[in-house]
Amino acid sequence: MSGTVIVTDSTASLPAGVAQAHGIRVVPLQVVIGARVLDEGPDGATPEVVAQALRDFVPVSTSRPAPAVFVELYRSLEAEGVEEIVSIHLSGEMSGTFESAQLAALEVDLPVHVVDSGQVGIATGYAALTAADVLEAGGSAQQAAEAALARGEAATSLFYVDTLEHLRRGGRIGAAAAIFGSALSVKPLLQIAGGRVVPLERVRTASRALARLAELAVEAAGDRPVDVCVSHLANAQRAEELATALAERLADGLEGREVMCGELGAVLGAHVGPGMVAVCVAPRD
C-alpha cells in the first residue's frame, strides 16, 4: 500500500478501471428517487434510472455522504498502512461533500489534505488523476493536493440544458437566472465559475448550442496540451457529434489522446435533466 492515497467522490465520473489503476478510492453520493435512497453507481442510481424518473415527474434529489462515511474510509486506509490522504471533491459551493470530508479529517489521526476542486464532473476527476500522477512521480501529498487544486482552477466546464427548471429546483441556480433560459426554443449555455453554475449565453436551437460549445471549447484549449471530455444525459447522438468535432479541431493539443464521451453520472444528471450536453477542457500544464 502506498504511503499516500487519493480519495474522491462518485461525481468525479472516473471509470472504475481508471480509478482502480491509480489506487483512487471513490465515495458515492446518494440519489433519492421517490421513497428510494440509492448510492450512485452501476448497482444503484444510474443515469438511465434518473433520466426516466425525471421524465415521469418522480421527485428526484441528491444527498452528500455523511462525515461518518469518510471517517470510516479514512480509518480503514490508516489500518491498511496509509500515512496520508489527499481527498478531492466537487465544488463546496454546490455540495456539502467537501464539508463532510473536512469534518471527517478532524476525526482521524493521519493527515488528510481536503481539496475543493471548484468543479463538477470529470473536471474533478482530472484533478484527482493529476494528484495521482504527482504521487506516482514521487511527489508529496501536499504537492499532489496543490496540483489537484491548480488543475481544477484551470479547467473549463461548459454545458447546455433543455430547461433550467431542474437546476432551479435543486437550488443550483437562482430563480432570476432561471428566467435567463425560459424563452421558448432557447437553449441556455452555462459554465462553472467560482464553483457555481452561472449563465453564459443563449442560443436558438440545440444544433447551434452544440456548435457554440465546440467554439468555446476550442477557445478554452488554445494551443496547450489538454484533456477533453464530452458528457450527456439521454442525448448520446449530439454528444458523439460534439466529441468527433472536437477530436478533429483539437488534435494537436490532444497529442493522440481520445476525447472521452459518455453519459453523465446520476447525481449530476438529477440536477440538469435529460438532453444536457457538456464539455470539459482541462489543460495538462
- DSSP-H helix ranges across the chain: 16-21, 47-55, 67-79, 97-105, 122-136, 141-154, 165-169, 175-179, 206-221, 236-249, 251-254, 266-272
Same domain? 93 vs 106: yes
- Cβ atoms of residues 197 and 172 within 8 Å: yes
- Cβ atoms of residues 220 and 252 within 8 Å: no
Beta-sheet strand order (sheet of 260-263): 196-203, 187-193, 156-160, 277-283, 226-232, 260-263
The model's pLDDT over 32-62, given as tens digits with 9 standing for 90+, comes to: 999 999 999 999 999 999 999 999 999 999 9
Which residues in the chain come in under a pLDDT of 50?
Answer: 172, 175-181, 183-184
In this structure, what CATH number is given to the domain that contains residue 82?
3.40.50.10170
Residue 168: what residue type? R
Q: pTM to 2 decimals?
A: 0.91
Identify the pLDDT of residue 179.
45
Same domain? 191 vs 85: no
Same domain? 73 vs 121: yes
The answer to whether residue 8 is domain-embedded is yes
Domain final position from 90, 124, 152: 152
- For residue 194, give its domain range: 156-283
- Cβ atoms of residues 77 and 134 within 8 Å: no
Same domain? 101 vs 81: yes
> What's the domain count of the chain?
2
In this structure, what CATH number is given to the domain that contains residue 222?
3.30.1180.10
Same domain? 179 vs 240: yes
Q: Please, is 56 exposed, middle or buried when counting C-beta atoms within 10 Å of its C-beta (0-12, 13-18, 19+)?
A: exposed
Same domain? 207 vs 228: yes
Q: What is the CA 217 to chain-centroid distance, rounded? A: 17
